[in-house]
Structure 1
């Protein structure tokens, strides 16, 4: 009798592959998306979920219009699986931190505006100083989750960074209103009657976008897009006025400033990383080289250089 009980307990045990599948389905709510995340297929994930349910004699997911929803019985399993995943992640980071030399890939996430002109020579300088490093750069205006290892380092402009990340301040970032240099010298009172180029609704969270909306300038927009670097290009082509960071606007040869940089749009440039990466030598080496290389452009970031 005892042997039979032990056999049943053995059969009901979950391994890490089981937990990974349960987590993937719970997070995505879809067998297809879970299969993509796991590098598997829909039929395989379906069979595995059914096999785990038979092994545990419980229903783990309920099929609803919104997708696969974890059952009450799955809640404890998911909590434990998340904890194990975090422990494995910390272990991997700790092992990675034992590198003797700053070699390997470093994943950097930043914005398209920074990559437009300013960052390429900065990154070239970093790579020359650290020839064993391979830089992998992703651009986008949303914050990548550093704690999920979607990136190792983030360069971001903003206010106070998330408390759970290590933040290194580089300098301030100033922004100004610009207009095409082919126009006659302008006064601020003319803004409401001139064409504008501006970010679209995907960037409505920006201080400059909120200011434009509050000033009733949206109706004056003749061009909108989801990229500030493209807004800068459109303004430089003479399509209209724009609010741009000074490191973009002051380098555009066909743009003029309208007044001084505006305090409403001032932000800060940060280098962000996760605390678990503090021991990883290649990450620290990159940050140590990035800081002075970016700080060398402080006058441009803060709008204190003559415009082009």
Structure 2
């Protein structure tokens, strides 16, 4: 039995659709469909059935899943043992990050690390998906939020401070914000309501409850454009916005928010030299830029 076929079945069963499984495995939906159909023909039974929520395992599929989960964990454990036994730097590091953190901090950091270590192939996956480090979907993750898996080594690299920004043209047209009036008459760009846990969004909501929201986004990076265009104010990371000559930081009556930046990797990779070197390199880089990341008010 081909392990690749089992992986495909496992991915479809977990994600509930051919498209989501294809994205998780880095292949195409037609390939997933073709391989899954061929696998079911060899087995002689349907392993997945359509439901209102997507594809769900059949009775046989559920029984198979129980054993496949253990097989996958054993296979991943073997991979980690092999990786931990590598003596040199040569090899690949898949890094995952998101939003402005990946664009402005992790991407240049990773490129500098690869320049200093040409035998290391660095790959950056910069999107909102939470890659599973235990399954080697990525080796190292840079994140704002907590790491939920128990088998990871996590280190806090620093704090990213935020401020309120606008252009001079915007302030000339709208005047300085009246915080006592909840910024009535002002326009803001902010994150979606499902990001209410993000400190910068909560802070802006407290400052400007009466402002008109001209843009909701799922990424802070997208908030730069309306601010630079002079049509809105937004809470932006100071390490990026302070370097933009077009943006002015607006003094606000509430303390500026910040959020921790963390790095994590699977505990089984702690002895891999290139992983260890990247972690130390990142820690040194973030320490050197601590004053930029969270400047004084």
TM-score (norm 2): 0.81
Bigger shift: residues 103-112 or 208-217? 208-217
Counterpart secondary structure, 2:142: strand
Counterpart secondary structure, 1:109: strand
- For residue 141 of structure 1, the aligned residue among 123, 128, 134 is 128
| 1:29 CA drift (Å) | 3.8
- For residue 99 of structure 1, the aligned residue among 60, 65, 86 is 86
Gaps of 5+ in 2: none
Counterpart secondary structure, 2:184: helix
Closer/same/farther in 2, CA of residues 107 and 194 from structure 1, 3 Å limit: same
Counterpart secondary structure, 2:87: coil
- For residue 84 of structure 1, the aligned residue among 67, 71, 96 is 71
Gaps of 5+ in 1: 1-13
- For residue 283 of structure 2, the aligned residue among 276, 284, 291 is 291
- For residue 45 of structure 1, the aligned residue among 36, 49, 68 is 36
| 1:17 CA drift (Å) | 5.6
Aligned partners of 1:261 and 1:174: how far apart in 2? Answer: 16
Q: Is the 8 A contact 1:31 1:46 kept in 2?
A: no
Instruction: Show the counterpart of 2:148.
Output: 162
Bigger shift: residues 60-69 or 89-98? 60-69
Aligned partners of 2:100 and 2:35: how far apart in 1? Answer: 42
User: Is residue 180 of structure 1 aligned with residue 180 of structure 2?
Assistant: no
Aligned partners of 1:31 and 1:172: how far apart in 2? Answer: 39
- For residue 225 of structure 1, the aligned residue among 214, 217, 221 is 217
Matches within 5 A, 1:123-142: 123-142=110-129
Matches within 5 A, 1:174-253: 174-182=161-169, 183=171, 186=177, 188-189=179-180, 191-200=183-192, 203-213=195-205, 217=209, 220-253=212-245
Instruction: Show the counterpart of 1:269.
Output: 261
| 1:261 CA drift (Å) | 9.3
Aligned length: 287
Matches within 5 A, 1:17-36: 19-20=6-7, 22-30=9-17
Closer/same/farther in 2, CA of residues 236 and 30 from structure 1, 3 Å limit: closer
Deviations 1:100-153 (A, max 9, x none): 211222111112312443444433332232221121112123432222222111
Counterpart secondary structure, 2:155: strand
Aligned partners of 2:278 and 2:253: how far apart in 1? Answer: 31
Counterpart secondary structure, 1:48: helix
TM-score (norm 1): 0.78
| 1:22 CA drift (Å) | 4.0
The higher radius of gyration belongs to: 1
